[in-house]
Amino acid sequence: MRLRDAVDVPMELRGLVPNSFDVIGSREGAVVVVEIPSELEQYKYEIAKALIRLNKNVKSVVRRVGARRGAFRLYETEVLIPGPTEVMHRELGYRLLIDPTKVFFSPRDQSDRLDLSLMVGRNESIAYLFAGAGPYAFAILKRQPDVSSIHAVELNPDAVIYLERNVKLNKVRGKVIPIEDDARHFCNVVKQGFNRVIMTLPLGAGEYLIDALSCIAKGGIIHFYHTGREENPWSEAESIVLNKCIEANVNCNIIGRRIVREYAPYVYKIRMDIKIS
């Protein structure tokens, strides 16, 4: 049953009931993260109760409010049905301990994590910027355990705590190196030229592209994330990449493009794979 068919709202508002939401966790316990428009404010608790009825493993419901903001780029959240928000999420053969009220995580990016992980070769050194609780790192290591190292850089101290716990949980100490730092500072002080840099932040990664270019080895690949409108999802990202590469005096070639998922109505989250020559 669809959510809009399970909740009692006036017919003229039924089309505003969200048709998608994130279920984060497992059969043992999960939390739903949902966006509810302001027009449905008085029905938000009814919507939350319907989500519980439709998803038997869900113990709590969290509403995501507004856009990502602040130094840690988190959404504001409102707990609609109290319960555990720290859950164990399983995907692609690894486990992720996560609290979506403290750390950003989207299960909708799973297919992108798989796609990217299949590109990684043996003995690569990787810088994983804006790492959160580390999902891309663990997806990579499940498919390519022979990487040299993954430096997972994250500024949010709560996220770093979960990152460290997930490193232990997935038994990848020595492979994933959690670093609590600003991405710009890390790139500017690190002495290593990485084979691959992952920039999973769709809003704002362009501000750090110059810094990423400073710590990538010749022949390396940067995975750059951005958003683009449906009619031409690539144009703005291409312009950013071209201008930043010229500014850094670096030869860049876009060797791959991927639409990751819908980000907002008529807007996509995209990934560009950039090879440095």
Both 142 and 202 in one domain: the answer is yes
| 22 & 81 share domain | yes
Does 99 reside within a domain? no
Domain end (from 39, 57, 85): 85
Report the share of the chain in percent with pLDDT over 70: 100
Claim to verify: residue 232 and residue 130 sit in the same structural domain:
yes
Give CA–CA dist 29/27, Å, rounded. Answer: 5
Task: Read off the CATH number of the domain in which 144 is found.
Answer: 3.40.50.150
Q: Are residues 62 and 152 in the same domain?
A: no
Question: Is residue 205 domain-shared with residue 267, that is, in the same domain?
Answer: yes
Could you tell me if residue 211 is inside a domain? yes
Residues 176 and 74 reside in one and the same domain: no
Boundary of a domain, candidates 85, 114, 129:
85
pLDDT in tens, 25-64: 998 899 999 999 999 999 999 999 999 999 999 999 999 9
Query: What is the per-residue pLDDT for 27?
Result: 85
Q: Are residues 172 and 207 both part of a single domain? A: yes
Q: Phi first, then psi: what are they for 97, rounded to 5°?
A: -85, 125
SS3 253: strand
Same-domain status, 215 and 79: no
- Band of the pLDDT at 72, cuts 50, 70, 90? confident
Number of domains in the chain: 2
Q: How far apart are CA 64 and CA 269, in angstroms?
A: 18
Q: Are residues 145 and 20 in the same domain?
A: no
Q: Within a domain: residue 69?
A: yes
The set of residues, in sequence order, having a beta carbon less than 8 Å from that of 165 and lying 6+ positions away, is 97
- Asked if residue 33 lies in contact with residue 22, where contact means CB atoms within 8 angstroms, the answer is yes
Pairing of strands 22-26, 29-34: antiparallel
Residue 155 to residue 82: CA distance in whole angstroms: 28
pTM of the model: 0.94
Given 27, 51, 85, the domain boundary residue is 85
Tell whether 110 is covered by a domain: yes
Q: Is 191 in the same domain as 118?
A: yes
Terminal-to-terminal C-alpha distance of the chain? 52
Asked if residue 69 and residue 157 are part of one domain, the reply reads no
Based on its alpha-carbon atoms, the radius of gyration of the chain, rounded to whole angstroms, reads: 19
Structural domain span for residue 37: 3-85
Q: Is residue 92 part of a domain?
A: no
From 126, 112, 249, select the one nearest 198 (Cα to Cα).
126
Pair 247, 124 in one domain = yes
Specify if 165 maps to a domain: yes
Predicted confidence (pLDDT) per residue in 109-164, tens digit: 999 999 999 999 999 999 999 999 999 999 999 999 999 999 999 999 999 999 99
Nearest to 46 by CA among 4, 1, 2, 7: 7
Q: What is the CATH number of the domain that holds 10?
A: 3.30.300.110
- Give the containing element (helix H, strand E) for 113: helix 110-117
